[in-house]
Amino acid sequence: MIRFKNRITGGSMFFRSIPFLSNNIMHFHHLNKEKSINNIYTKKKITKKREKLLCNVKPFINDKCDVSENNVIAYYLGKNFNLQNLKNLYENVGAQVIYKEPYLYVESCEYFNQQNSSIVIFKNGCIVFWNMNKKNIIFFLNFSKIHLNISDGNTLVDTYDFEELEVQNVNNKSYVNNSIIYLTQNNYRCTDKISFSFGLLSAVRLNNLEKKIENKLLLENNNIENLKQKIRSSNLDLLSKQLFYSKTTLHNLRYELNIEQDILDVPEPLWEYEYQKKLFLNLLNIFDIKQRVDLLNHRLTWTFDYLNSFLDYVNQKHSSRLERIIIIIIGLELILGIMQMAQTVGLQVKAKSYNNISK
């Protein structure tokens, strides 16, 4: 150990005795240290620049095309789309397209005569138009009608359910305030559009489902009133079957509202994007999605309970009827038994009287 220390000391004394060599070595160590620090800084800098984006498409700008509108419109067709076929269709006319299940992001192009506009198409039948005027929306729909399974774009715009919001451009982050979407102009613009589009998808799907549930509830209430008139009839089995069918219908509606549609759930593509999840939930608040879903659940539960009460009453009447039938059967058996006993006693009396006469 002593020799080793002496060697180190001697070596350091040797380098100190040669100033030029010592300075070069110190300079070399300094450069290596500085280089390693720069490498770390560069790596951090590169990592910071890697933004998490769902897509990053440059907007189409052409002064010959129509100026973009300050709105977003979502239509719900309720039909499943083949996104791959639609992707090929739009790419053939020069549009930039991003295809990621379950959506298709289409940046407008010269063919659609609309600049700084885009379309988000969802697989389950929703189309969201960003900053596109009505004339070009109709043209886009007519161009796509074979793959969208529609007859005419004008009919869709005038008759199908939709939601519309105002859109304003901002330089900072996107946000929502007073039912207005403030959309960023930085690299997150496309990503935020998709996040807001998911919120609009939930809104138009809920609109469609609300109408469906309201119509079904109205029909079921009418059926209940008709069943009240028939409850005095003798065919209680038919009433039970009708009530069972009504309960099955309501159960399917409740399943569609709470599980199948996923209206309140954050979409899977947004799970890793915290700020975009916030944008999605903020848009749901604009349309009071949670409150409306709770109200629909309450109405379904009330009708369900009413049907259960009515079914219990029918079952009770059915049980009472069975009890009466059983009592009648028992009574008939008693009468038959008494008649048989009387007949037997009568025969015995006749036999005794006959024997007495014979004696």
291 burial via Cβ count (<10 Å: 0-12, 13-18, 19+): exposed
Q: Is 183 helix (H, G, I), strand (E, B) or coil?
A: strand
Residue 49 has pLDDT above 80, yes or no: no
Question: How far is 162 from 305, CA to CA, in rounded Å?
Answer: 33
> Bigger pLDDT: 331 or 102?
102
Terminal CA-CA length for the chain: 150
- Given this model, what pLDDT does residue 256 score? 87
Question: How far is 147 from 82, CA to CA, in rounded Å?
Answer: 7
pLDDT (average), residues 201-230: 87
- Given this model, what pLDDT does residue 116 score? 94
Residue 21 has pLDDT above 50, yes or no: no
Pairing of strands 175-177, 180-184: antiparallel
Please name which of 119, 116, 162 lies closest in space to residue 140, comparing C-alpha atoms. 119
Pairing of strands 162-170, 180-184: parallel
pLDDT (average), residues 61-88: 94
Per-residue confidence at 51, pLDDT binned at 50, 70, 90?
low
Q: Which residue do the tokens 């900053």 mark? A: 131
Please name which of 202, 205, 211 lies closest in space to residue 285, comparing C-alpha atoms. 202
| Other C-beta atoms lying within 10 Å of the C-beta of residue 127 | 28
CATH class of 71-160: alpha beta
Question: How far is 304 from 229, CA to CA, in rounded Å?
Answer: 20
Q: In what order do the strands lie in the sheet with 96-100?
A: 96-100, 103-107, 118-122, 126-130, 71-76, 162-170, 180-184, 175-177
Q: Which residue do the tokens 């659609």 mark? A: 112
Instruction: Report how far apart, in Å, the C-alpha atoms of 39 and of each of 36, 46, 47, 48, 223 are.
Output: 5, 10, 12, 14, 76
Residue 48 has pLDDT above 70, yes or no: no
pLDDT (average), residues 175-198: 95
289-358 helix and 274-286 helix, angle to the nearest 10 degrees: 70
Residue 231 has pLDDT above 70, yes or no: no
Query: What's the distance, CA 11 to chain centroid?
Result: 74
* Domain range list for the chain: 71-160, 199-323
Residue 165 has pLDDT above 50, yes or no: yes
- Given this model, what pLDDT does residue 23 score? 53
Please confirm whether the linkage preceding 102 is cis (ω < 30° from 0).
yes
Structure tokens at 352: 């005794």
Instruction: Report how far apart, in Å, the C-alpha atoms of 68 and of each of 37, 114, 282, 327 are.
Output: 48, 7, 24, 82
Among the listed ranges 19-28, 89-98, 264-273, 316-325, which one has the minimum average pLDDT value? Answer: 19-28
Question: How far is 181 from 71, CA to CA, in rounded Å?
Answer: 9
Dihedral (CA of 156, 162, 168, 172) sign: negative
> Bigger pLDDT: 36 or 112?
112
Question: How far is 12 from 233, CA to CA, in rounded Å?
Answer: 114
Per-residue pLDDT reduced to its tens digit, 79-109? 899 999 999 999 999 999 999 989 999 999 9
Instruction: Report how far apart, in Å, the C-alpha atoms of 147 and of each of 76, 142, 162 are.
Output: 15, 10, 20
**What values do phi and psi take at 114, rounded to 5?**
-140, 120
Mean pLDDT score across all residues of the chain: 82
Could you give the angle at the alpha carbon of 161 between the alpha carbons of 188 and 292, nearest 5°?
A: 80
